[in-house]
Amino acid sequence: MHDDYDVLIIGGGILGCSIAYFLSIMTNCSIMLMEKEKNVGIHTSSRNTGKVHAPLYYDPEKKSSTAAYTIRGYELIKQFCLFHNLPFKEDGVIEVATDDSEIDVLIKHVEWARRNGLKKEDIKFLSKSEMLEIEPNVKCESGLVCFQDASTDYGLVNQKLKEDAVKFGCNTSFENKFRAARSNTNTGAKRKMTIIGTAKNITSDYVINAAGGNSLDIAHSLNLAMDFTDLHFRGEYLIAPSKYSNLTNRSIYSVPRYTDYPFLDPHWIRRTDGRCEIGPNAVPVFSPYAYNLADNLKNVVPKLFESSKLGVMKLFLNKDFIRLASNELSSSLSKTKMINRVRRFLPSLNSSDFKQRGRAGIRSLLIDKKGNFASESLLVENDSSLHILNYNSPGATGAMPFAANIVKQLIQKNIVNPTSRKVDSPLTD
């Protein structure tokens, strides 16, 4: 082990491990993966719905790259899971219109899905009677069934990506939290950058910031992306008792009502192990790790101070946003209110049956000076670093092709050199 490398990756989520994986099989550079926790995938990468998404309701004019990575990611995750004998269940998903006013939205989503790359046979619009035939317990006016949608365990995928990257030569540094970055350009040092961590310092010629909820703070430490701040939203889940295990054959989503904001109504989720859950909501919190009240409260003042300097205050003064945020908070405080949002299409659910909460996850969204949410991921770079910001759902689905494209660009820019060796991987093509 040595402490200087060609490339340092900060963040051991599914994106960081995907980048480490493709760097290790596509290049001959020395690589270090730096993670602040004891293992990879501790946060958002293992705290999610587990869905391998299809690009159903992604506007092709606003989220074209998101849709493209999602389409390609489906096949790559499928190959990877089959190769490693990981769970991958092609169970499909249904989006429902709960009233007549939403039927036109479903028809639009069919069009979007095809423009985003889904084949005609992958997606089908269903009338009310056709819905009753395949999902008799679902109450709706119509539905959209997508057959190219699956379920997996992203925590296991994340772990296996790390193990493969290590097998192919990547090094790891755990319990080593980023503290600061220092440029060595004018010092005559061997490497261009020094990353100061809580456990040890690491020098590198190139740094890739894939730190999820911390990624913007790291970019700010290098005076990059200073026109942005971020807001964090905790997605909470309720575990359904076993009596509801056969209530539906597929996961059920409702039509998004507020597309300008990150407030999707909670879904009915079927997981690969047979569990069913309700969630997630989107509760505003003040830290990317605010899983409990104490962690949330200690970050209130610094986050509000940071937000006051940028356009996010315009968002806080937006009446629609405040009303929606209040509704999300209400669904966190009252399980009945959260379950009632799903009872619109699954009326047989009884809130008194739900006794256990699932594992909450936190999504960090980028806000610009005007108080607008960034619609897609943002890549910011300088001569010796690349920062991946606003990487959110369906980020786990698209992580592998997104990472492979980043490595391809690094090779094209001569930042790293391609390898000629062959490795035993399902994704080498």
Task: Identify the pLDDT of residue 305.
Answer: 63
Closest Cα partner for 285 from 12, 17, 9, 43?
Answer: 43
pLDDT tier for residue 311 given thresholds of 50, 70 and 90 = low
* Structural domains in the chain, sorted by start: 1-50+153-228+374-429 (3.50.50.60), 232-369 (3.30.9)
pLDDT, tens digit, for every residue of 151-184?
999 999 999 999 999 999 999 999 999 999 998 8
Tokens representing 305? 């101070």
pLDDT-derived band at 1 (thresholds 50, 70, 90) equals: very low
Predicted confidence at residue 362, as pLDDT, reads 95
Top-confidence range, 33-37, 179-183, 229-233 = 33-37
- DSSP states of 359-420: --EEEEEEE-TTSPBPSS-EEEEETTEEEEES--SSHHHHHHHHHHHHHHHHHHTTSS-B--
pTM for this entry = 0.95
Tell me 265's DSSP state.
P
Structure token digits, residue 109: 């989503």
d(CA 392, CA 381): 19
